[in-house]
Chain A
Amino acid sequence: MIWKIFLFILLAFVSIAGIAFPIVEKPSAWYEFPFIPGLEENAKIIFFHVPTAWLTVIAFLMSTVFSFRYLKTKNLDEDAKAYSAAQLGMIFCILATVTGAVWAKFAWGQFWSWDPRQTSIFAILLIYGALFALRSSIESEDKRATLSAVYSMIAFVTVPFFIFIMPRIMKGLHPGSADDSNAGPVVDFQMNSSMQLIFFLSLIGFTILYFWMWKVGYKSIIIRDKINKQLISPNSSGQGG
């Protein structure tokens, strides 16, 4: 319980700091951020866009890992874990796409320009969509778990191609792609130390949030499944987490 309060405070601080702290030419106070050429005011989105994109990847990885474990053990609990990760992955993917599009509007003038990274995140969105469509079309839970596990792994195998081919084939507007001389604020550490602090706090906060949501997610899937099968009765499902 304590750590949930801690998490709430952390994320509240990050959100407020990320939005409210001013960006000035020469930061003097501890709460001021430097001007990053090319990004200016919009830099603040880094506190929210990057963590959501990062978590999309984490969720995708976890979904694949637990799919693999399901194929090995045929234990439906592993499928619940993979599915919970996929659900969260979808949510964070939508958030990353939207925050990215908002940033694109301010920085490049249009919401969508088929920049390589934008195309990649969109492709991941399509993969998740396909996975959910597949799952909803199968009645038998064994089959559903097996087929979505196989599809997850095939999708996982194609994702590295996006990372490699996209930046090569398409010149991008995204910070850190082939064209851009700025190479991205994180890589170059053009952020000053207070910005870095907020950034990493945001990253950590969102990551903890993700893992908490994932745990609640898969446990509730398993419990609901067992109740439906009358393997446990609704009154005796134990302490909540």
Chain B
Amino acid sequence: MIAKPYALFKKDFSSELRTRYAINSLAMFIIVAISVILFSIGNETINENLTGGLFWVVIFFTAMSGLARAFVSEEERGTTLTLQLIASPSTVFSGKLIFNLILVFCMNLVIAILYSALFERFVVQNFALFLLTFILGNIGLAVASTIIAAIIAKAGAKGTLYPVLSFPILLPLILTCVQLTLFSFDGTSFEEAQFEVAIVVGYDVIMLTASYMLFDFIWKD
């Protein structure tokens, strides 16, 4: 069941290892984005709310930088047809989703580490809540970004279109995750944050279902 999507993921991963395209540019992007923010705030200490918000801002733009590649690279090289000949649509989506999930977790781990090192107010009191938010938020981010990537891969002006289409779709997720991140800074208990956690879980489930159902239409010409 998972073997075929996994094989597709391995193909993308091996390809990435050979060309090292995504890793290099994404790593640089993260460094540049965080540097821009640090330079802009100078010696000021920004408060918790701002820190939490900016955390997810960098996550969003890094995702926009790197997650479209899964589909755009196939479309640009003309290998979409090749994939259609060897895999069913759900296999293709699953494989690309696995790739983007792993990419998102790696990127965001780096971002989280850098933030806790460089921003004074990035102090997590309820670590379990933060971890839960991190995991669930990353899943939602990966799913939504992957399906939108599939859409823009078939359109023109892909680079600029990707954030434009993704932002409204990701907005509920980002707002709730920012809220949850702030809760984890404050030490809010899990019980009090239940509603927001339920929202993120609901978002993940609904986005996943909708994506699988709609992907067939995008994929097949």
Q: Answer whether A and B touch in the complex at a CB cut-off of 8 Å.
A: yes
Measuring CB to CB, which residues of chain A are less than 8 angstroms from any residue of chain B?
71, 123, 126-127, 129-130, 133-134, 137-139, 143, 146-147, 149-151, 153-155, 157-158, 161-162, 164-165, 168-169
**Majority-rule SS of A interface residues:** helix
Q: Which 9 A-B pairs have the closest CB atoms?
A: A161-B172, A137-B156, A126-B168, A127-B168, A137-B157, A137-B155, A130-B165, A157-B210, A150-B214
Residue in contact with B151 in the complex, picked from A127, A150, A162, A164, CB distance below 8 Å: A150
Tell me if A149 and B217 are in contact (CB < 8 A). yes
- Number of chain B interface residues as a range: 20 to 34
Residues of chain B with a CB closer than 8 A to A146's CB:
217-218
Contact B210 A126 (CB under 8 A): no
B168 touches A165 (CB 8 A): no
Known: A133-B161, A134-B161, A137-B161. Is A164-B155 also a contact (CB below 8 A)? no
Nearest CB on B from A116, distance (A)? 10
- Write out the residue numbers on chain A whose beta carbons fall within 8 Å of the beta carbon of B207: 154, 157-158
Do A143 and B154 have beta carbons less than 8 Å apart? yes
Task: Give bound CA distance, A21 to B155, whole Å.
Answer: 52
> Can you name the residue of chain A whose Cβ is closest to the Cβ of B213?
A153
Shortest beta-carbon distance from B97 to chain A in Å: 15
> Contacts A147-B154, A162-B172, A169-B179 hold; do A134 and B165 have CB atoms under 8 A apart?
yes
Cα–Cα, bound, A161→B203 (Å): 8
In the complex, per-residue mask of B196-221: 1 if CB is within 8 Å of any chain A CB, else 0: 10010011001100110010011001
Q: Which residues of A contact B168 (CB under 8 A)?
A: 123, 126-127, 130, 155, 158
Which chain A residues border B169 with CB–CB below 8 Å?
A: 154-155, 158
Write out the residue numbers on chain A whose beta carbons fall within 8 Å of the beta carbon of B210.
Answer: 153-154, 157
- Complex interface bits, B160-182 against A, C-beta within 8 A gives 1, otherwise 0: 01001101110110011001000
CB distance from B120 to the nearest CB of A (A): 26
B195 at the interface (CB under 8 A from A): yes
Which residues of chain B have C-beta atoms less than 8 A from A147's C-beta?
151, 154-155, 218
